Structure 1
Amino acid sequence: MLVSDAHRFLFVHVQKTGGVTIDGLLRPQLADARSVDGLTRHARLDQILSAEPDLGDYSIAGIVRNPWARLLSWWSMVERFRELAEQGAPKAQGFLSGKGFLAVVAREYADFEAFVLRGTLERPRLRTPQLAYLSTPTRRADFIGRQETFDADVATLVARLGLPPVAQVPRDNASAPRDHRDAFTPKMRDRVAEVFADDIEAFGYTF
């Protein structure tokens, strides 16, 4: 996440939605940019407000993504780290030899089908709706952009903060584009629809 007290602004970083790009874009321009002590960068809004209740009065923003495309992007990151590790890249080897989430996923799920069908059952992080990151029973993000309209929504976010317009939005930590519809069997497709029903209803996503 990213907090600016001067701008009374909180950005909630949902995994695989472009949050690394937004952080890299905004943090250098917000002199007081900070995180919330004790929380990971992917903390949910309820966790953030539990740690710092006053942030509920700030302008809150986040980005969401088509759930099927998001899971494919997540798996593509795992594959990328595997390939780099096999090529001898020290950073990737370090990640995959550890006890972190990425290492566990890479070891336990041999392919994308297992990642979707078993992973969403066994790993709470993989089945948490994006809406759960961006809302609580009493508060919801004021601005929810979409990865599908990323450039336009980043421009809107920058304008809301009163920052200079961005000539070209970079792509940090991005996987190579793939059509998610080619990667899912009917059973996998239906599993995602079940797990992320809240996102599909809230944001109107379709396969």
Structure 2
Amino acid sequence: MVISDAHRLLFVHVQKTGGSTIDNRLDAVLSDTRQVPGIDRHATLGQILAAEPGLAAYWTVGYVRNPWARMLSWFRMVERFKERADRGRRGADAFLKKNHFIKGVADACPDFETFVMKGPDQWTRLRTPQVRYLTSKTRRADFIGRQETLEADLRAVFARLELPWEPLESVNVDKSRPDYREVYTDPMRRRIEEIFAKDIAAFNYSF
């Protein structure tokens, strides 16, 4: 999450939707960015508002992504950290020791099929619809952008906030990731369709 009290802005960071790129840009142009102490940076809107109810009045922004592409991106991130740790990269090894979720997924899901078919049963965050991150019982994000049109949508956010714009420098980009349609079997495709039915309906995504 990123909060700017001066601009009355709340950015809710949904995992694997380009959020790190957005975090970096907001931190670069806003001098007062902060988070809510004591809660995860990927907290849901409901969790954020429970911790700091006054943020309900802030203009709230979040991003979503095609669920099939998002899950592949998530697995590839885990895979990269495991490969780096296995090669003795000190930073990756330290990260895995600290991040029990990533390490647990890396140990339990040796391939993408296992990650899709079994991972969501073991880890709640792998089956949490993106729409849940961006809604609470009384609130919904005011602007929901898409990873697929990240730069254009973020430019619209900056225009709304009257902030200066420069082309994005994306981070955590997996340039070798295959087209997600090439790596799903029919059972895997249906599994994601079932888990993220709310996202597919809310944001009109398709395989």
Q: What TM-score does the superposition give when structure 2 sets the normalisation length? A: 0.96
Residue in 2 aligned with 1:174?
A: 173
Amino acid at match of 2:30: L
AA of the residue aligned to 2:191: R
Which residues in structure 2 correspond to 1:144-159 (within 5 Å)?
A: 144-159=144-159
Match of 2:40 in 1: 40
Residues 56-105 of structure 1: CA deviation (Å, up to 9, x unaligned):
01000001000000000000001111221122210111223445210110
Q: What is the CA-CA distance between 1:174 and the residue it aligns to?
A: 2.1
SS of 2:10's equivalent? strand
Q: Which residue of 2 aligns with 1:113?
A: 113
Question: Mean alpha-carbon deviation: is it higher for 81-90 or for 100-109?
Answer: 81-90
Unpaired runs of at least 5, structure 2? none
Identity %: 54
Contact in 2 for aligned 1:60/1:142 (Cα 8 Å): yes
Q: Secondary structure at the match of 2:145?
A: strand
The residue number in structure 2 matching 1:95 is: 95
Q: How many pairs were matched up?
A: 206
- The Cα shift of 1:28 comes to 2.1
Supply the distance in 2 between the matched residues of 1:146 and 1:136 (Cα, whole angstroms). 19
Determine the C-alpha separation between the residues in 2 that align with 1:10 and 1:68. 27
Structure 1, unmatched stretches of 5+, are none
2:135 is the alignment partner of 1:129:
no
Q: Which has the larger displacement, 188-197 or 171-180?
A: 171-180
The residue type paired with residue 173 of structure 1 is N
Q: What is the alpha-carbon distance in structure 2 between the residues aligned to residue 107 and residue 159 of structure 1?
A: 44
The answer to whether the Cα contact below 8 Å between 1:3 and 1:35 also exists between their aligned partners in 2 is: yes
Q: Deviations over 1:167-191 (max 9, x none)?
A: x211112222421001111101000
Inter-partner Cα distance in structure 2 for 1:20 and 1:162: 21
Partner Cα separation in structure 1 for residue 31 and residue 111 of structure 2: 43
Q: CA deviation at 1:136?
A: 1.1
RMSD of the alignment, in Å? 1.1
